[in-house]
Amino acid sequence: MLSRTADHLYWMGRYIERAETTARLLEVGARNALLPDVAGGFRNDWDAVLRALGVYDNFIEKFGELVERNITTFLFFDADNPTSVLSCLSAARENARVVRTALTGHTWDAINSSFQELKDFQRIERSKLSLTDLAEWTLHTVSLIRGAIDGTQLRDDGYRFIGLGMAIERGDNTARLLDVKYYVLLPSLSYVGSALDQTQWTALLRSMSAYRAFKWAYRGDITATKIAHFVILNEEFPRSLLSCTRAINEHLDMLSRRYGRPSQAQSVARSMLAELAEAQVGEIFDEGLHEFLTRYMRRNAEAAVIIQNTYLAGVPA
Amino acid sequence: MNNAAPNYFNEMLHGAEVRQAYQSLERWHRDMPDDLRSLKQSEAEALFRRVGITFAVYGEGGDPERLIPFDMFPRVFTAAEWRKLEKGIRQRAMALNAFIADVYDRGEIIRAGIIPEHLVTRNDAYEIAMVGIRPPRNVWSHIVGIDLVRTGPDQFYVLEDNCRTPSGVSYMLQNREIMMRMFPQLFHENRIAPVDGYADLLKKTLASVAPQKCSGDPTVVILTPGQFNSAYYEHSFLADLMGVELVEGQDLFVEGDFVWMRTTEGPRKVDVIYRRLDDAFIDPLCFRPDSMLGVPGLMNVYRSGGVSICSAPGAGVADDKAIYTYVPEMIRFYLGEAPILENVPTWQCAKKDDLKYVLENLGELVVKEVHGSGGYGMLVGPKSTKSQIEAFRSKIEEKPWNYIAQPTLALSSCPTFVDEGIAPRHVDLRPYCLVGEKVELVPGGLTRVALTEGSLVVNSSQGGGVKDTWVLAE
């Protein structure tokens, strides 16, 4: 497969995943804004949402105040915001369009139709679009695309590159969400173990569509330890760092088997997996959750760079 | 229904009578309720958008991804009509190839005094770098698009030849797909020759001109300028149908005596390049040094027989409007045959007598730039105002060599859906002739239709649309 084709598939995967993250955060922000705040009035978690996406400063610079209407526009429709649903789906579609030949008709159709619908939304008056509808639409659309990829793409190298893009992006997003939430909730490490703001933690779980799943998997109160275990080490939760790392390993193994040649990315991914498989929550808190997550994101990014150099850059072997 | 002006050949009607080939279509349209028609029309458009069959227009504002209007009323040729056309097209494609081979070799046709030397060697499309090179099978133009118009039951004229990289074939294929999907019963009532073998034929043609140094199954690729090219959809569509890689210049590199593509498994040798890139851009070391789209060193590999380029650089020398007038002579000279398809009589403003005639009759003529294309920069005398004609007159007087003129042809019309039902609209035809080991074409082509009443300009950039083109099986 052409390196450039693989590169486009990989980034298509990353952008699809990223669109989903933005949509989930939109949903959480909108929901929390409906809840009364302890101090009177309503809660406003939008700053946390914007920080989680790493676009807080961009937003303030452009709009100044945290007004919901502007936030919706910014997170859903704003082409200047690289994490907006519009930006992500457009980028996914641009990448897909260039490599049409590597996609099945169904996959292309799902991606392209989503883009056409998005353009229709742009023509509708903003006041007639509810935030939850937009977020739901995105989740629905992403499921459709994922389903088309899963149900129709050949399990060839192209499929593996899409999968790698998705798994790497997802791991990064999970780590980032947890990290930011944790910072916002617990500005000082001395708070660990103290009574937690249930709503905030619930929001974190909802942002990974894992609220109900968490309830099934763990009993009793929501605590930092349980959340950390669930989001980092639970092998059943598809967004946990362990699951993401496992997916990266699987795709890399299949690629090296197909190409008859091991890759350096495999060794990085294997050592990441080995660590997560053995890790205990206690150790993670000993190291410091933030420190642990930062280290994870760095290694995840390192794996991404090696994948880029090995397969996507087209350097003569 | 609106009848065409009597001096135009109406492809469906002979007086009040419906021609045999169109009878089932005439019933089909008569039985179609208006709401079904508009439903089908929007279904067709949705299909085009969903499949992504768009062409890109940048720099004009608005949506850069445009649809070419699709008219659902097919255009029909009988088997007998097609037989004659096919013969004429093959003949022309062979003569054009013989001409290109000749002008980069001994130039016999110039020595024989048939074509003036300056028209060839001073032509912008003439590539001095190609002199003395002999491509595999001595084929230079592998896909020849010949634009035809019809003026009577047996009267066809060639409007122009396209020897470089004619586009539009994806519309021929998709128009058929969409018609079969929307109106299957029409294909039961009529026996319509299929066109979907085109991609296989194209791949065979390209593989048949693999370079000398290639052993085994040749690796064919399509070279595109990239996703911002207006025909990008077509490039990826053809790559997909042929099962070959669609590459950009950055995906290829030259090392040793070969061209390689960058793959996830390391470099892979490329044997045949179907390039949809102009000559000037394919190799910055040989042609335009500022080209970012091409492959440095490609021409060296080409010269030494390490790779084939389709069409060969310099093939455009044969499809210029000044050379066009000599094609019937080429057919006689190289093939020793009488031309089957006629040229439109053409006046060359570079010639003194012709110029005089043109300037005296501007109101009745169509004047075109020698190197123009796409319907831009032309004057349609009978459709222009006095001041437009006078403005054009001074342009011609300034640079007479830049213009040719032709009589305003009474282009045939074909029924076309309009708001009030159907009405005759003028059409042309572009069939695609493939030249490799064999000379072949699929039964059909791209019919372009001028959607504006009375208009003779069918180009998509000027409000033209497309139709499915049927050739009835024997």
DSSP secondary structure of A4-61:
HHHHHHHHHHHHHHHHHHHHHHHHHHHHHTTSBPTTSSB---HHHHHHHTT-HHHHHH
Cβ atoms B206, B223 nearer than 8 A = no
What lies within 8 Å, CB to CB, of A304 at 6+ separation is A168
Give CA–CA dist A52/A207, Å, rounded: 11
Tokens at B49, concatenated = 């958008």
Separation of alpha carbons B262 and B251, rounded Å: 5
Peptide bond into B311 cis (omega under 30): yes
Query: Mind telling me how many Å the CA of A8 is from chain B's nearest CA?
Result: 12
Q: Which residues of A touch B260 (CB under 8 A)?
A: 316
Backbone phi and psi for residue B426, each to the nearest 5 degrees, phi listed first: -75, 145
Q: Which SS3 state, helix, strand or coil, does residue A317 take?
A: coil
Domains of chain B, CATH where assigned: 13-211+307-340+410-471 (no CATH), 212-306 (3.40.50.11290), 345-407 (3.30.1490.270)
Q: Comparing C-alpha atoms, which of B78, B50, B75, B77 is closest to residue B65?
A: B50
Q: Which residues contact B251 (CB under 8 A, 6 or more apart)?
A: A2, A3, A4, A314, B245, B261, B262
| Among A9, A12, A101, the residue to mutate for chain B (most B Cβ within 10 A) | A101
Q: For the sheet containing B258-263, what is the strand order?
A: B252-255, B258-263, B266-270
> Across the interface, do B261 and A2 touch by the CB < 8 Å criterion?
yes
B199 vs A contacts (CB less than 8 Å): none
B245 closest CB neighbour out of A2, A98, A255: A2
Cβ pair B261:A5 closer than 8 A: no
| B116 backbone dihedrals φ, ψ, rounded to 5° | -65, 140
Say yes or no for a CB contact (<8 Å) between B236 and A112: no
CA pair distance B4, A65, nearest whole angstrom:
65
The amino acid at residue A304 is: A
Residue B350 is predicted with a pLDDT of: 85
Q: CA quadruple A211, A216, A217, A223: dihedral positive or negative?
A: positive
Burial environment of residue B130 by CB neighbours within 10 A (0 to 12, 13 to 18, 19 or more): buried
ipTM over cut 0.85: no
- Residue showing tokens 């350096």: A264
CA distance B201 to chain A (A): 19
For B300, list phi and psi in degrees, rounded to 5. -65, -45
**In whole angstroms, how large is the CA radius of gyration of chain A?**
20
**3-class secondary structure per residue, B312-365:** CCCHHHHCCHHHHCCHHHHHHHHHCCCCCCEECCCEECCCHHHHHHHHHCHHHE
**Would the CA dihedral through B183, B188, B190, B196 be positive or negative?**
positive
CA distance linking residue B220 with residue B208, whole number of Å: 10
**With an 8 Å Cβ cutoff, are A100 and B263 in contact?**
no
* Cβ-based contacts of A101 with chain B (< 8 Å): 236, 239-240, 245-246
Chain A closest-CA separation from residue B232 CA (Å): 9
Q: Do B245 and A5 touch (CB under 8 A)?
A: yes
**What are the residue ranges in chain B where pLDDT is below 70?**
1-6, 52, 55-64, 372-376, 461
Q: Chain B residues with CB inside 8 Å of A100's CB?
A: 52, 236-237, 240
- In a 13 Å sphere around the CA of B188, the CA atoms on its Cβ side amount to 6
Q: Do B262 and A5 count as a contact with CB atoms less than 8 A apart?
A: no
Residue from the list B50, B246, B260 with its beta carbon closest to the beta carbon of A113:
B50
Beta bridge partners, B75, equal B469
Buried b / exposed e across B251-289, counting CB within 10 Å, b at 16+? bbbbeeebbbbbbbbebebbbbbbbbbbbbbbbbebbee
Q: Is B423 left (phi over 0), alpha (psi -120 to 50) or beta?
A: beta
Set of chain A residues whose Cβ sits within 8 Å of the Cβ of B265: 1, 259, 317
Task: Say which residues have a Cβ less than 8 Å from residue A273's Cβ, sequence separation at least 6.
Answer: A242, A245, A246, A249
With an 8 Å Cβ cutoff, are B263 and A113 in contact?
no
In this structure, what DSSP letter does residue B213 have? T
The pLDDT, as a whole number, for residue B81 is: 95
Residues 30-69 of B with CB under 8 A from A: 49-52
pLDDT at B274: 98
In contact, A296 and A233? CB cutoff 8 Å: no
B176 vs chain A: nearest CA distance in angstroms? 18
- Chain B residues close to A317, C-beta within 8 Å: 265-267
**Is the C-alpha dihedral spanning A126, A129, A130, A131 positive or negative?**
negative
Cα separation, B445 vs B431, in Å, equals 4
Angle between helices A85-98 and A105-123 (to 10 degrees): 140
Q: Do B314 and B125 form a contact (C-beta atoms < 8 A)?
A: yes
Q: Is the dihedral of CA B126, B130, B136, B137 positive or negative?
A: positive
Q: Are B29 and B35 in contact (CB under 8 A)?
A: no
Helix (H, G, I), strand (E, B) or coil at B172: helix
CB pairs under 8 A between A and B: 64
Inter-residue contact B349 to B191 (CB < 8 Å): no
Element spanning A196, H or E: none
Domain residue spans of chain A:
1-153, 154-317
φ/ψ bin of B195: left (φ > 0), alpha (ψ from -120 to 50), beta (otherwise): alpha
Q: Would you state the structure tokens that stand for residue A204, as one six-digit string?
A: 């974190």
> Would the CB atoms of B264 and A1 count as touching at under 8 Å?
yes
Which residues, other chains included, contact A28 with Cβ-Cβ below 8 Å and sequence gap of 6+?
A45, A49, A203, A206, A207
Q: Which residues of B touch A2 (CB under 8 A)?
A: 245, 247, 251, 261-264
Are B69 and B466 within 8 A, CB to CB? yes
The whole-angstrom distance between residue B178's C-alpha and the CA centroid of its chain comes to 21
Asked if A81 contacts A140 with a C-beta cutoff of 8 angstroms, the reply is no
Residues 168-187 of B with CB under 8 A from A: none
* Cβ contacts of B137 within 8 Å, gap of 6 or more: B208, B209, B436, B437
Q: Which residues contact B386 (CB under 8 A, 6 or more apart)?
A: none
pLDDT lower than 50: segments of chain A: 196
Taking CB atoms and an 8 Å cutoff, what residues of chain A touch B255? Answer: 316
Interchain contact B267–A (C-beta under 8 A): yes
> Which pLDDT tens digit goes with each residue over A19-61?
999 998 888 787 777 766 656 566 667 887 888 788 889 999 9
Inspect the interface and report whether the beta carbons of B50 and A112 lie closer than 8 Å. yes
Residues of chain A positioned with their CB less than 8 A from the CB of B250: 4
Residue type, A41: G
Instruction: From chain A, pick out residues whose CB is under 8 angstroms from the CB of B254.
Output: none
Q: Considering only CB atoms, which chain A residues are within 8 Å of B267?
A: 316-317
**B453 vs chain A: nearest CA distance in angstroms?**
32
Burial class (CB in 10 A: 0-12, 13-18, 19+), B221: buried
DSSP assigned state of B216: S
Query: What chain B residue is nearest to A2 in terms of C-alpha separation?
Result: B263
- How far off is chain A from B137, nearest CA to CA, in Å? 29
Contact A259 B265 (CB under 8 A): yes
Q: Cβ contact (<8 Å) for B49 and A116?
A: yes
Identify whether the C-beta of residue A179 lies closer than 8 Å to the C-beta of residue A290.
yes
Confidence (pTM): 0.83
Tell if the CB–CB gap between B227 and A101 is shorter than 8 Å. Answer: no
- What phi and psi values does residue B435 have, to the nearest 5 degrees? -125, 120
